[in-house]
Structures are given as C-alpha cells and as structure tokens.
Amino acid sequence: MPGMAESGITRLETIKLLGYHANISSQEKTVVESRDKPLILVVDDQATIIRIMTNMLQPDYAVCVATDGNRAIEVARNQLPDLILLDNMMPGMTGVEACKVLKADPITENIPIIFVTAMDDIHNEQIGLKAGAVDYIPKPPSAEIVRSRVKIHLSATKQYKFIERLATGQVSDPDDIKKQARELLK
C-alpha cells in the first residue's frame, strides 16, 4: 500500500477484515475496527456538493472527502470507508472509471458505491451499475433519499459480511450466531 514504508510497516499480512479481503497491516486493522461510526467517503469536484452531503450525513456517520477519482481511490485504499458516494462528472478520471478501479482492487472491491450525479438518464445509470455501483441517486440529492439509501446499503453489507463469516466458519457458536442475527434485524 502507498505510504506504508514511511510509517515503518514493512511486512503486510493478508487478512480478512470486516468482510474485505485485503493486504493490510495490523495498525490499519486497529484503526478500522476502532471506529465509532460508519465512515462514508464523499467524492465530488464541487465544494458545495461536498458540504451539502457532509451536512446530510453527520452526525450519524463519519465523513471523509475526495475531489477527484484518483484521490478517491487513494483515500478508499487508505481509509477503507464503509460506503462511497461518488460523482461521475469530474475532471480527469470519471466516477465510472474510478468505480471500475475500486471494484478491480481486492482491498476496495467490497465497498458499496452509490453514484450521486447529474447524469440521471437511464443509459448513464446502466453504465454506473455495470461498473459495479450498487445504487444511483440523481442530483440535486435529497437528504432523506441519501440517508435512506446509505442506511439500506450499509445494512445489506453487514448482512453479507455476517453470512460470509457463517459460511467460512468464523462464527460457529449458536448463541453468538443468534446474538449477531438479532443485531442485524434491529
């Protein structure tokens, strides 16, 4: 990972982290596991949209931001956000291109991506979904729609990760399984 040598971490181990198959250090694992709130990466080249989206999401979520596709990839690899809200029309790398890179990377492939874009025609929606996005929200974004979709996709991701832990035998105690299942139903 970029920047790991500077932090003194030279040996990376392959681990399964919260449902992500990733090459990540134990120091990074601790940072991700110690989060109090889900982390949402907001990617847009317009400061106003970033401010609006951040205000919609806080205080329920922690928010990090990027203003272009290349920076979004870097932030996603380093911060491992729980979900990405991604604009499509940005200078340099488009959102669709960034989405394809993120979905091809084993570190970021399981992070759900929702496009939030002015390109709200069916053709562009199909392209975004084909690139790996899980949803598509037209601009201007409605606070209620954004919060609802984020909540839905974070819940679906938690359920997927729970099923994956069951299937791989990481969770086998019946009482623990019941407890975790009840938590998912809340």
pLDDT for residue 5 = 33
Query: Can you tell me the mean pLDDT for 64-87?
Result: 96
Q: Phi, psi (5° rounding) for residue 12?
A: -100, 140
Please check whether residue 123 lies inside any domain of the structure.
Answer: yes
pLDDT of the residue at 34 = 58
Residue 141 DSSP code: P
- With residue 39 as reference, give the H or E element that holds it: strand 39-43
Radius of gyration for the alpha carbons in the chain, expressed in angstroms and rounded: 17
User: What is the C-alpha to C-alpha distance for residues 53 and 117, in angstroms, rounded to an integer?
Assistant: 12
Domain boundaries, position 127: 13-185
Sign of CA dihedral 143, 73, 31, 106: positive
pLDDT digits (tens, 9 = 90+) for 89-118: 998 999 999 999 999 999 999 999 999 988
Its pTM stands at: 0.80
Structurally, how many domains does the chain consist of? 1
Q: What is the mean pLDDT of residues 139-162?
A: 93
In-domain check, residue 8: no
CATH number at residue 136: 3.40.50.2300
In a domain, 76, yes or no: yes
Query: For 12-69, how does the pLDDT look when each residue is reduced to its tens digit (9 = 90+)?
Result: 222 233 333 344 444 444 445 558 899 999 999 999 999 999 999 998 999 999 999 9
pLDDT for 6 beyond 60: no
Residue 133 included in any domain: yes
| For range 71-92, the mean pLDDT | 95
Q: Are 77 and 2 in contact (CB under 8 A)?
A: yes
The answer to whether position 7 is within a domain reads no
Average pLDDT score, the chain: 83
- Domain annotation covers residue 159: yes
Give the DSSP H or E segment for 99. Answer: helix 95-104
pLDDT (0 to 100) of residue 136: 94
Q: How far apart are CA 97 and CA 115, in angstroms?
A: 12
Spatial CA neighbour of 110 closest among 46, 173, 30, 19 = 19
Q: Is residue 89 part of a domain?
A: yes
- Residue 5 lies inside a defined structural domain of this protein: no
Report how far residue 140's alpha carbon sits from residue 161's, in angstroms, rounded to the nearest whole number. 32
Mean pLDDT score, 79-94: 94
Structure token pair of residue 57: 């999401």
Yes or no: say if 17 and 26 are a contact pair by the CB < 8 Å rule.
no
Q: Which of 47, 148, 136, 40 is nearest to 88 (CA)?
A: 136
